[in-house]
Amino acid sequence: MSKKIFSGVQPTGNLHLGNYLGAIKNFVKLNDDKENRCVFCVVDLHAITINQDPKELNNNIRETVATFVACGIDPKKSIIFNQSQVSAHSEVAWILSCIARMGWLNRMTQFKEKAGKDKEKASIGLYSYPVLMAADILLYDASHVPVGADQKQHLELCRDIAQKFNNDFKVDGFFKVPEPLIQKDFSRIMSLKDGLKKMSKSEISDLSRINLTDEKDLIINKIKKAKTDPLPLPENIEDLNKRPEAKNLVGIYSSLTGQTIEKSLNRFSGKNFSQFKEDLSQVVVDKISPISLEIKKLLNEKTYLNKILSEGCKKADDIASKKLKKIHEIVGF
């Protein structure tokens, strides 16, 4: 069955293994399915909810596109563009913010986590960005949205906004209510230094993550220094779940090899981590090294990257502007 897919990635720069296994690997599968129509957005408007260096942000947008292409997303099959260049996103976000309820946004747990203790100093953009996320999705009549556990609540908000708009203006089915696409395999990758923290660029130590631009020797060194415990690898998932660092490394191995956790444990149970890390290093190097080389090559082809963005923006704007025109008519503009 044909699916209309929409998903976005913030241009944070230096995307890592967590981004790849948690999102981009799945994007490639969706892109490769001829039945799907995919829109992959570099969500630069979302990025400015926190302070950004303008020059760095501009470079990061192109690095994100380079990473998409290097990982296997074909810009001829899917639309790749940056959000800020399609003005309908901002306008529809405002219209939908007049539909969304304060109570709904107050329940968003991610704002509480990102704003920290001093919520009074957080930007309005950080508070309301789930409404912009809803606009991103609804503009393209997306039927399915790939989401991780941390974004599922935002998709539920998007569904609520779509249904309320349709009900308020008596336009049943105008906004398509999207369904989540949740990855079945191990996709939440944790820090190499703390199995209870998500792998993140914001963590101070570079040893906590494997960047998609890391070279072979650096990858091997990071895995060698990854935090583990003194016990050999367990025989079953129940015991593995009690050991966060072990669970994370086995999960990475399983995701990259396409094996189940059970199959990986059957192979490595009873072995010590030094043996396992050698095999894991080889698997990560085999997957990441070609991507790293391709990213670096593409970053030297700025004309090509700009062309992908330009063509993608034209295609996205064509879809979004038509939807916006209909929204204007419904609202009364």
Structural domain contains residue 194? no
Structural domain contains residue 193? no
- Co-location of 162 and 291 in the same domain: no
Sign (positive/negative) of CA torsion 45, 46, 47, 51? positive
Q: Is 142 left (phi over 0), alpha (psi -120 to 50) or beta?
A: beta
- Co-location of 62 and 87 in the same domain: yes
- Number of domains within the chain: 2
- Distance CA(263)–CA(236), nearest Å, equals 10
Q: pTM for the whole thing?
A: 0.91
- Co-location of 38 and 130 in the same domain: yes
CA–chain centroid gap for 315, Å, is 22
User: Which pLDDT tens digit goes with each residue over 150-202?
Assistant: 778 889 999 999 999 999 999 999 999 999 988 766 678 999 999 999 998 88
Q: Which residue has the tokens 């908000």?
A: 157
DSSP state of 16: B
- Please, are residues 285 and 220 in contact by the beta-carbon 8 Å criterion? yes
Note if 55 is an active site residue: no
- Co-location of 152 and 210 in the same domain: no
Note if 201 is an active site residue: yes
Q: Using pLDDT thresholds of 50, 70 and 90, give the confidence band for residue 115.
A: low
Q: Using pLDDT thresholds of 50, 70 and 90, give the confidence band for residue 13.
A: confident
- Please, are residues 156 and 192 in contact by the beta-carbon 8 Å criterion? no
- Please, are residues 10 and 46 in contact by the beta-carbon 8 Å criterion? yes
Looking at the DSSP assignment, which residues form a beta bridge with residue 82? Answer: 42
Structural domain contains residue 196? no
Phi and psi at residue 245, to the nearest 5°: -70, -40
Structural domain contains residue 201? no
User: Which pLDDT tens digit goes with each residue over 255-311?
Assistant: 999 899 999 999 999 999 999 999 999 999 999 999 999 999 999 999 999 999 999
Q: Could you say which of 201, 216, 315, 323 is catalytic? A: 201
**Percentage of the chain lying above the pLDDT 70 cut:** 97
Q: Using pLDDT thresholds of 50, 70 and 90, give the confidence band for residue 108.
A: confident
Q: Could you say which of 77, 176, 197, 198 is catalytic? A: 198
Structural domain contains residue 81? yes
- Co-location of 20 and 141 in the same domain: yes
- Co-location of 172 and 236 in the same domain: no
Q: What pLDDT is attached to residue 185? A: 63
We report the CATH number of the domain holding residue 317 as 3.40.50.620
Instruction: Tell me the CA end-to-end span of the chain in Å, nearest whole number.
Output: 36
Selection from 133, 83, 84 nearest residue 105 by Cα: 133
- Please, are residues 210 and 219 in contact by the beta-carbon 8 Å criterion? yes
Q: What pLDDT is attached to residue 27? A: 94
Structural domain contains residue 288? yes
177 is in which domain, residue-wise?
Answer: 4-187+303-331
Write out the two tokens for 140: 């393209």
- Distance CA(323)–CA(4), nearest Å, equals 15
Please state the rounded mean pLDDT for residues 33-42. Answer: 95
Q: Using pLDDT thresholds of 50, 70 and 90, give the confidence band for residue 314.
A: very high
Tell me the pairing of strands 79-82 and 37-42: parallel
The amino acid at 101: R
Structural domain contains residue 223? yes
Q: Could you say which of 114, 176, 224, 323 is catalytic? A: 114
Tally of CB atoms within 10 A around 283: 16
Structural domain contains residue 198? no
- Co-location of 162 and 72 in the same domain: yes
Q: What pLDDT is attached to residue 176? A: 96
Q: Hey, is 79 helix, strand or coil?
A: strand
- Co-location of 93 and 169 in the same domain: yes
Selection from 54, 50, 56, 45 nearest residue 13 by Cα: 56
Note if 247 is an active site residue: no
Helix 88-97 vs helix 302-331: crossing angle, to nearest 10 = 40
- Co-location of 261 and 310 in the same domain: no
